[in-house]
């Protein structure tokens, strides 16, 4: 087993400016009233974690528990405030509509653009083109603009591109829940095949069905800390316990969605 | 500077594809499509020519050629700026998902407009033929001011796209500055049509040297003096260095603000 991802005492601090100067006018008035209403907020607090090759690790937790921030730290989009993030191998993220994909471009154009952004060369993409189209079951629709796609078609294309990019680490944020049973089965097969070749997937989701289907290990996050880390069923049980605790004692629950505002 | 060259080199395929995407989106769903790249300068030219050679009479022969020789580089500058200023903010969602060299977005805006500019040389050629304008060997000199122009534009693009992340006002300010800058640059008139005492003002305008270089070569059939060539290249390089330096300083924090 080889180490793929290693996080060591990672903290990610956001500076939540209550009223960030959004315009020059505000910035100028700031100069005169030197009162920065900043508030610091730690989205990830001292997380240490190791992920090996061949694993499918799921991150679960309530809204604002730091799952997505952690994923962005692994992707290299954020630099940790303190601590170290080590990643061995290439990383690719499944990209949502509106981010990397453009609705006015055709499926093929989007596929090329997306592949390039994930670090492939044009030649490499062209070599995988047919595989992507076949896997996504798009056929001739590949040359239609993306806005005419159904959400299922779109999701299939996004997944097909990401998995055919064949990174060492694939990051998936809440997307695999679309698609019919048949396609889901195909994805599952692709994922387990992917992992058997020594690759790694990190998966963020609230969908316990999807998690049970694909994950080999779960990490439960709460308030930016790891609460549990281990076998799937055990951690899910722990998570459900946590939610019931909150329901029973709403006063103890902190305002959720705090971090959600930021991402 | 080397860092910029390496970034462009390493990401060239992506930059090119992003530039193509911008061009495709600009002309998709319009009946005339890419013809607009040719029609747009011609129509603007027609309007300005009618205004300034018929209503307001500038003592300039073949005004259309005089005008287009500086109008095309100006249009390149202003269009690139309008696209580039939004290039980081507009791709914010992507920056939050994928680790990617952030400079590719402003650079792609510049590249797509270079392609557009090269196409707009066709209407220039068309005007020259229709007006039976004599051929000058100095036309071959055009790449030199073009280089200065591209460097200068890229520098401004880096600066404005980064500043716009922090203050969205920048995109509005850029539009206003562009329209003022147009009248303060020798596009519809030339330096010698200005009263003596205002010429100093124009000398402070870095674009004036570049635009004048285009006009000298295309319209007057003259080569600019070595000093003015040097100035336009230096202006370009300095703008690029400052713009890129600022961009690099702040780019790490883009993800938190877009």
CB of B97 closer than 8 Å to CB of B205: no
Place of tokens 């392609």: B115
Stretches where chain B sits below pLDDT 50 are none
Query: What are the b/e assignments for B39-59, b being 16+ CB within 10 Å?
Result: ebbbebbeebbeebbeeeeee
Task: Render B9-29 in DSSP notation, one character per residue.
Answer: HHTHHHHHHHHHHHHHHHHTT
CB of B246 closer than 8 Å to CB of B159: yes
Residue of A nearest to B96 (CA): A77
Q: Name the pTM for this structure.
A: 0.86
Contact assignment for B21 to A121 by CB distance below 8 Å: no
Q: Where are the alpha helices (DSSP H) in chain A?
A: 24-32, 67-75, 107-117, 122-136, 151-165, 181-196, 208-214, 232-248
The full set of domain ranges for chain A reads 1-88+169-263, 90-167
Shortest distance between the Cα of A46 and any Cα of chain B, in A, equals 20
* Chain B contact for A258 (CB, 8 A cutoff): no
Find the range with the poorest average confidence among A139-148, A217-226, B21-30, B67-76. Answer: B21-30
* Chain B contact for A14 (CB, 8 A cutoff): yes
Contact assignment for A96 to B17 by CB distance below 8 Å: no
Is residue A35's pLDDT more than 70?
A: no
Among A224, A238, A243, A204, CA closest to A81? A224
Shortest distance between the Cα of A247 and any Cα of chain B, in A, equals 33
Q: Give the separation between CA A95 and CA A110, rounded to whole angstroms.
A: 11
**Chain B positions in Cβ-Cβ contact with residue A110 (cut-off 8 Å):** none
pLDDT in tens, A152-196: 888 888 888 888 888 999 998 876 666 678 888 888 888 888 988
Place of tokens 């040097």: B230
CB pairs under 8 A between A and B: 73
Contact assignment for A104 to B25 by CB distance below 8 Å: yes
Helix (H) or strand (E) holding B53: none
**Chain A positions in Cβ-Cβ contact with residue B14 (cut-off 8 Å):** 113, 116-117
Contact assignment for A99 to B24 by CB distance below 8 Å: no
Shortest distance between the Cα of A99 and any Cα of chain B, in A, equals 5
* Chain B contact for A31 (CB, 8 A cutoff): no
**Structure-block tokens of residue A1:** 């087993």
Is residue A128's pLDDT more than 90?
A: yes
Identify residues of B whose CB sits under 8 angstroms from chain A CBs.
13-14, 17-18, 21, 24-25, 28-29, 93-100, 167-169, 173, 252, 255-256
**What is residue A261's predicted lDDT score, i.e. its pLDDT?**
43
Q: Give the separation between CA B105 and CA B257, rounded to whole angstroms.
A: 16
Contact assignment for A91 to B14 by CB distance below 8 Å: no
Find the range with the poorest average confidence among A30-39, A119-128, A194-203. Answer: A30-39
What ipTM was assigned to the predicted interfaces of this complex?
0.80
Q: CATH number of the domain at A1-88+169-263, please?
A: 3.40.50.300
Contact assignment for A96 to B95 by CB distance below 8 Å: no
- Cα angle vertex B82, ends B78, B86, to 5°? 155
Place of tokens 């994930």: A118
**Structure-block tokens of residue A152:** 């299922």
**Chain B positions in Cβ-Cβ contact with residue A85 (cut-off 8 Å):** none
pLDDT in tens, A106-116: 999 999 998 99
Shortest distance between the Cα of B51 and any Cα of chain A, in A, equals 37
**What is residue A97's predicted lDDT score, i.e. its pLDDT?**
59
Q: Give the separation between CA B94 and CA A93, rounded to whole angstroms.
A: 11
Q: Give the separation between CA A3 and CA B232, rounded to whole angstroms.
A: 54
Shortest distance between the Cα of A150 and any Cα of chain B, in A, equals 21
Is residue A80's pLDDT more than 70?
A: yes
**What is residue A259's predicted lDDT score, i.e. its pLDDT?**
41
**Chain A positions in Cβ-Cβ contact with residue B99 (cut-off 8 Å):** 75-77, 91
Contact assignment for A99 to B93 by CB distance below 8 Å: yes
Residue A50 β-bridge partners: A6
Query: What are the b/e assignments for B89-113, b being 16+ CB within 10 Å?
Result: bebeebbbbbbbebbbbbbbbbbbb
Shortest distance between the Cα of A214 and any Cα of chain B, in A, equals 22
Q: Which of A23, A93, A121 sits opposite B167 (nearest CB)?
A: A23
């Amino acid at each position: 087993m080889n180490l793929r991802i290693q996080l060591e005492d990672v903290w990610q601090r956001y500076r939540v400016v209550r009223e960030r100067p959004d315009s020059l006018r505000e910035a100028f008035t700031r100069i005169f009233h030197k009162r920065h209403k900043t508030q610091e907020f730690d989205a990830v607090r001292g997380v240490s974690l190791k992920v090996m090759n061949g694993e499918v690790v799921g991150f679960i937790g309530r809204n604002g528990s730091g799952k997505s921030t952690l994923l962005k730290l692994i992707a290299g989009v954020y630099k940790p405030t303190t601590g170290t993030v080590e990643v061995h191998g290439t990383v690719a993220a499944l990209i949502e509509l509106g981010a990397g994909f453009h609705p006015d471009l055709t499926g093929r154009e989007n596929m090329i653009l997306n592949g390039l952004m994930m670090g492939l060369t044009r030649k490499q993409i062209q070599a995988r083109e047919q595989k992507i189209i076949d896997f996504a079951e798009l056929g001739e629709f590949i040359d239609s603009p993306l806005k005419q796609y159904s959400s299922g078609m779109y999701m299939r294309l996004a997944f097909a591109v990401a998995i055919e990019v064949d990174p060492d680490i694939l990051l998936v944020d809440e997307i695999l829940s679309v698609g019919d049973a048949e396609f889901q089965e195909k994805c599952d097969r692709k994922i387990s095949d992917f992992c058997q070749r020594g690759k790694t997937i990190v998966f963020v989701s609230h969908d316990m069905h999807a998690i049970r289907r694909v994950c080999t290990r779960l990490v439960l996050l709460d308030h930016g800390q790891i609460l549990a880390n281990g076998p799937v069923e055990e951690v899910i049980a722990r998570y459900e316990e946590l939610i019931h605790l909150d329901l029973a004692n709403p006063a103890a629950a902190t305002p959720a969605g705090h971090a959600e505002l930021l991402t | 500077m080397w860092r910029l060259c390496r970034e462009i080199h390493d990401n060239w395929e992506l930059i090119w594809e992003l530039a193509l995407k911008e061009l495709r989106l600009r002309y998709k769903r319009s009946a005339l499509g890419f013809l607009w790249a040719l029609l747009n300068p011609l129509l603007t030219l027609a309007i300005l020519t009618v205004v300034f050679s018929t209503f307001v009479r500038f003592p300039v022969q073949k005004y259309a050629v005089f005008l287009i020789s500086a109008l095309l580089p100006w249009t390149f500058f202003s269009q690139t700026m309008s696209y580039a200023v939004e290039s980081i903010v507009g791709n914010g969602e992507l920056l939050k998902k994928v680790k990617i060299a952030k400079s590719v977005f402003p650079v792609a805006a510049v590249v797509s407009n270079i392609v557009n500019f090269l196409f707009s040389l066709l209407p220039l050629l068309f005007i020259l033929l229709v007006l039976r304008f004599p051929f000058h060997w100095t036309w071959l000199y055009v790449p030199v001011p073009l280089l200065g122009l591209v460097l200068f534009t890229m520098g401004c693009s880096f600066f404005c796209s980064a500043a716009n992340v922090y203050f969205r006002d920048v995109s509005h300010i850029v539009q206003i500055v562009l329209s003022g800058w147009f009248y303060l640059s020798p596009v519809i008139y030339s330096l010698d049509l200005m009263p003596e005492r205002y010429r100093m003002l124009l000398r402070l305008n870095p674009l004036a040297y570049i635009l004048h270089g285009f006009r000298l070569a295309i319209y007057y059939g003259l080569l600019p003096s070595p000093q003015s060539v040097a100035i336009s290249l230096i202006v370009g390089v300095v703008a690029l260095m400052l713009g890129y330096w600022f961009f690099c300083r702040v780019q790490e924090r883009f993800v938190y603000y877009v």
